[in-house]
């Protein structure tokens, strides 16, 4: 089983709202990732967690706040977003944070900020 | 730094072959190939780790020349299901996966 699940599938929010995206995997993977993907562009790395600790933050604005409550769950808390933050948000996981490890992606959350 | 993919787009007839190239100006520790269909998540195809390594997956294969910092994806006897956007991803020393700009492939009957 190489499944990464994400909820919700779609999300519409206003610029003053607070919402959260959720990602879950039960493959025993210890590295989890958040990516942002705009239309016709490649996924861009936002955050990386390794063993539930934040390992990489790609200079993401503070209105995005990641959280890794346990080894299976990854959240992305959203607050005071801008319309340009509208995108597909992808979660991925890999067994470990190593160059030879495959990343498995979830189906994504399509976010629209009004 | 983002790897560079070429071509940006290609249209094929069913049964034709295609090559997608991926190159980097920085040292590559591994190259990952993904295919993404419209509105779906990227799906892993294969990973290449060593210089000169080649791998195959059904009628899709790839090579990785570590010295030249290049990888190529070969699609043989393309099928309609091969349509989508292909991304190469390179892992650098920091273990971050950076994707190339993508190659949009359309296979027509």
Interface test with A, best of B38, B45, B97, B104 (most A CBs within 10 A): B97
According to the model, what pLDDT value does residue B105 have?
97
Put simply, the answer to whether B97 touches A42 (Cβ < 8 Å) is no
Lowest-confidence region among A29-33, A88-92, B46-50: B46-50
Which of A58, A99, A104 has its CB closest to that of B44?
Answer: A104
Average pLDDT of chain B to the nearest whole number: 89
According to the model, what pLDDT value does residue A59 have?
86
Which of A97, A102, A105 has its CB closest to that of B47?
Answer: A102
Put simply, the answer to whether A105 touches B41 (Cβ < 8 Å) is yes
Put simply, the answer to whether B95 touches A106 (Cβ < 8 Å) is no
According to the model, what pLDDT value does residue B69 have?
87
- CA A23, A66, B31, B102 torsion-angle sign: positive
CB proximity under 8 Å: A 93-112 to B: 97-100, 102-108
According to the model, what pLDDT value does residue A100 have?
80
According to the model, what pLDDT value does residue B93 have?
67
**pLDDT exceeds 80 at position B63:** yes
What whole-number percentage of chain A has pLDDT above 70?
A: 98
Those residues with Cβ within 8 angstroms of residue A45's Cβ, 6 or more apart along the chain or in another chain? A33, A34, A35, A56, A58, B96, B97, B98
Q: What is the arithmetic mean of pLDDT over A87-99?
A: 93
Per the model's pLDDT, the better-predicted residue between A68 and B63 turns out to be: A68
According to the model, what pLDDT value does residue A34 have?
97
According to the model, what pLDDT value does residue A22 have?
98
Lowest-confidence region among A81-95, B21-35, B42-56: B42-56
Q: Residue A16 in contact with residue A82, Cβ under 8 Å?
A: no
Nearest C-alpha neighbor of A31 from the set B6, B85, B55, B97: B97
Helix (H, G, I), strand (E, B) or coil at A85: helix
- Please check whether residue B86 touches A, CB under 8 A: no
According to the model, what pLDDT value does residue B53 have?
65
């Amino acid at each position: 089983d190489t499944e990464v699940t994400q909820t919700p599938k779609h999300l519409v929010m206003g610029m003053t709202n607070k919402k959260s995206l959720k990602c879950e995997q039960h493959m025993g993977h210890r590295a989890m990732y958040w990516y942002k993907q705009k239309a016709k562009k490649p996924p861009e790395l936002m955050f990386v967690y390794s063993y539930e600790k934040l390992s990489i933050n790609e200079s993401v604005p503070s209105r995005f706040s990641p959280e890794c409550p346990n080894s299976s769950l990854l959240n992305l808390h959203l607050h005071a977003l801008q319309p340009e933050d509208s995108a597909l948000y992808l979660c991925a996981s890999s067994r470990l944070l190593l160059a030879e490890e495959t990343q498995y992606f979830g189906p994504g959350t399509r976010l629209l900020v009004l | 730094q983002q790897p560079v993919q070429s071509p940006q787009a290609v249209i094929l007839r069913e049964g034709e072959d295609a090559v997608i190239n991926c190159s980097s100006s920085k040292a590559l520790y591994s190259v990952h190939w993904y295919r993404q269909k419209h509105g779906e998540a990227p799906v892993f195809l294969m990973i290449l780790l060593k210089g000169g390594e080649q791998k195959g997956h059904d009628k899709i294969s790839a090579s990785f020349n570590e010295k030249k910092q290049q990888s190529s994806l070969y699609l043989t006897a393309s099928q309609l299901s091969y349509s989508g956007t292909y991304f190469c991803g390179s892992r650098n020393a920091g273990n971050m996966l950076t994707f190339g700009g993508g190659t949009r492939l359309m296979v027509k009957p």
